[in-house]
Structure 1
Amino acid sequence: MRPEVAVRERAALGEGPTWDPATGRLTWVDILGCRVHTYEPTRGRRTVMATGQHVGAAKPRAGGGLVVNLRDGIGLYAADGAFSWLVHDPVAGRRGNDAAVAPDGALWAGTMRYDEQPGGGTLSRIAPDGSVTEILDSVAVSNGTGWAPDGSLMYYIDSPTRRIDVCRVDGPRVLDRRPLATVEEGAGFPDGLTVDADGCVWVALWDGAALRRYTPRGDLDRTVRLPVRRPTACAFGGPGLRDLYVTTARTGLDRPHPLSGSLLVLPDAGRGMPSPAFAG
């Protein structure tokens, strides 16, 4: 598998690619650039929307528009672009980070401190009506979140731990959390993830210039080298959900690769699962 350039961009901190099967469009964010990007590969069409504050994730809503994990809480964009707060909860020194929509249509959204202090972040479940259940209250950098094909298991990354964790899910409860795999020192830090139709977990390695694929048993069965040092997250999209899109970052690099900050794609990398839309 050789990566290709889907969108050449200079995003400071590209993150959170999500394929919307209803529109045939990929949505991703530049967290520090306060931008939400979309890309339609069949037409080559792009859009860019400013959010006005740091945006950790943007996910499609069932009725159109987006739900966004912002610095100060969870926001909603209607299909016509009108904005409203679903959860407004500003905390000094903290921002929203990665997020994912569960099979039941709820949003699981992470936060982190700007200084990445351990214990300063959270993972919460936001129901469609805006009610919040705090799942984890003491994480550092809340990152990749995804579910097994049957919805019974959830995978989760708190990046500084170097672990990809797995746990059972019972509604809004997380049970029996344990390490699925650990990324060794020198190989980078696990960042965003996606789960494919075989139940395998693809993980982007920040400072590792690679993607890894782990089996449901935690065995490493594939490594894909990338030209950029800081891939951040990945998601399947395109026809048949067979193309793997990868967001990247250039922030903090003295001499970033020319493609750092671009959206990359690995054509025909596997087979993904449809991403549920936020039900709110």
Structure 2
Amino acid sequence: MTAHEVAVRAEAVLGEGPTWDAHAGRLIWIDILGCRLHTYDPATGRRTTRTTHQHIGAAKPRAGGGMVLSLRDGVGLLDPDGTFRRLHHDPVPGRRANDAAVAPDGSLWAGTMRYDEAPGGGTLSRVAPDGSVEVVLDDVAVSNGTGWSPDGRLMYYVDSPTRRVDVFDHADGRVGGRRTLVEIEEGAGYPDGLTVDADGCVWVALWDGGAIRRYTPAGELDRVLRLPVPRPTACAFGGAGLTDLYITTARTGLTAPTPLSGSLLVLPGAGTGLAQPAFAG
């Protein structure tokens, strides 16, 4: 496996949410606190940046083109022509969006957290294509990585301060049977964003751990990828064959950020990812 490369040298405050847009052949990623929505085409090197009107927690492709955005005050749709329109409005003082994922049925599972990270101040909600919302978890501190097994029967989830990656049974947009897949030991950082590969293994970014870990579906540590940054935030497979692992990173809170803190990194040939569904709305 090739060592890491710099896909986009940047100084994102809180880079997050790498997502491969297969239709457009580009990577989408965001800077939550910098209010920036980025795209990167690895074939051409073309990059775009759009400023959002408030903090952005996630951006995912839509089935008909454009993107769905999880924002501080709710969820909105960005049309292919650049027009923005609100899908769901739910402003809560002191709370913002933080990470989201699209389920196999095309719904958006969007997380929130309080700015002060107070326990129980966040949620995980299922946003249907028509904008209707169901709160799935209402007692979350820092809602983070969410992903599904290759057959869609399991959902993996991170509430970062718990230091756990949990797994749920999943069927027809419902989850249950929550249990712990793995608990990150003290001193190794906090679990943040995650992605699931074609083998059903879970790759987890470790905030303050300077690494990505790969766990088997049985919860066994399978691989550790050391990084030149202390705060990797999330990872996702992209590229033509979904074999390149893209990693977002953060500078926020660091008194002495490393030169690559805030950049978008890539590990070519790290594994094989799963094609991600687009939001059906």
TM range (shorter): over 0.9
After superposition, what is the alpha-carbon deviation per residue over 1:141-186, rounded to whole angstroms, capped at 9, x for unaligned?
0000000000000000000000000010122321100000000010
Match of 2:223 in 1: 222
Per the alignment, in what secondary structure is the counterpart of residue 239 of structure 1? coil
Measure, in 2, the Cα distance between the counterparts of 1:172 and 1:45.
36
Match of 1:13 in 2: 14
Match of 2:121 in 1: 120
Per the alignment, in what secondary structure is the counterpart of residue 176 of structure 1? strand
Per the alignment, in what secondary structure is the counterpart of residue 241 of structure 2? helix
Match of 2:38 in 1: 37
Match of 1:142 in 2: 143
Match of 1:232 in 2: 233
Assess if the C-alpha contact under 8 Å between 1:66 and 1:78 holds in 2. yes
Q: After the TM superposition, which segments of 4 or more aligned residues of structure 1 sit over 2 Å from their partners?
A: none
Measure, in 1, the Cα distance between the counterparts of 2:172 and 2:143.
20
Shift of 1:190: 0.1
After superposition, what is the alpha-carbon deviation per residue over 1:116-151, rounded to whole angstroms, capped at 9, x for unaligned?
000000000000000101100000000000000000
Shift of 1:239: 1.9
Residue type of the alignment partner of 1:194? T
Match of 1:168 in 2: 169
Assess if the C-alpha contact under 8 Å between 2:152 and 2:171 holds in 1. no
Matches within 5 A, 1:1-280: 1=1, 2-280=3-281
After superposition, what is the alpha-carbon deviation per residue over 1:191-213, rounded to whole angstroms, capped at 9, x for unaligned?
00000000000000000000000
Assess if the C-alpha contact under 8 Å between 2:109 and 2:124 holds in 1. yes
Assess if the C-alpha contact under 8 Å between 1:133 and 1:172 holds in 2. no
After superposition, what is the alpha-carbon deviation per residue over 1:55-106, rounded to whole angstroms, capped at 9, x for unaligned?
0100000111110110000011000010111001100000011000001000
Assess if the C-alpha contact under 8 Å between 1:61 and 1:279 holds in 2. yes
Shift of 1:270: 0.3
Measure, in 1, the Cα distance between the counterparts of 2:18 and 2:49.
14
Q: Provide the TM-score with structure 2 as the length reference.
A: 0.99
After superposition, what is the alpha-carbon deviation per residue over 1:23-63, rounded to whole angstroms, capped at 9, x for unaligned?
11000000000010000000000000011100010000011
Q: Provide the TM-score with structure 1 as the length reference.
A: 0.99
Shift of 1:189: 0.1
Q: Give unmatched runs, 5+ long, in structure 2.
A: none
Residue type of the alignment partner of 1:149? P
After superposition, what is the alpha-carbon deviation per residue over 1:210-254, rounded to whole angstroms, capped at 9, x for unaligned?
000000000001000000000000000002100000000000000
Residue type of the alignment partner of 2:238? G
- Structural RMSD (CA): 0.5
Residue type of the alignment partner of 1:270? G
* Count of residues paired in the alignment: 280
Per the alignment, in what secondary structure is the counterpart of residue 24 of structure 2? coil
Residue type of the alignment partner of 1:231? P
Measure, in 2, the Cα distance between the counterparts of 1:126 and 1:171.
14
